[in-house]
Chain A
Amino acid sequence: MYIIIFIFFAINLVTIGYPIVSIQEIQQLPNFILLLLPPNYLPIIRLFSLLSVIFFIISALSKLKNKKQLILFVLLTSPLLLILAKEFNILVIFVLIISSIWLLSNNNYFLLFASFLYIFFIYLNHSFNSIIFQQLWVLIKSTCNLTGLFFQNETVHEYIRIPKNGYFLESSLIFFLYGIYHLIKEKKSITIKYLLFLLFGLIIFLTYPSKYFIFSGIGLLIFILIIISYGSVKIKMNKFFVGLLLFVTVLNFAFFLESYFRHYQKKYSQERGYAKFQLMEKIKLIDKIVEITQDSDIDKLYQYYSYHYSMPKIRKISNGVWSINDCFNNKQLICALTEKEIEVNNQNKNDSRFYIVTNDNGGRAYFLTNVKQYEN
Chain B
Amino acid sequence: MTALVRVVNVEKIYKTGAVAFQALRGVSLELAEGDFVAVMGPSGSGKSTLLHLMGGLDRPSTGRIEVQDVVLSEMNETALAKFRRTHIGFIFQFFNLIDNLTIQANIELPALLQSGRERKAVRRRANALMERLGILDQARKHPWELSGGQQQRVAIARALINQPTLLLADEPTGNLDSKSGQEVLHILRECNAQGQTILMVTHDASAAAQARRVIFIRDGRLVEEMPGEDVQRIAQFMITLTET
Say if A and B assemble together: no
* Interface residues of A, Cβ cutoff 8 Å to B: none
* Interface residues of B, Cβ cutoff 8 Å to A: none
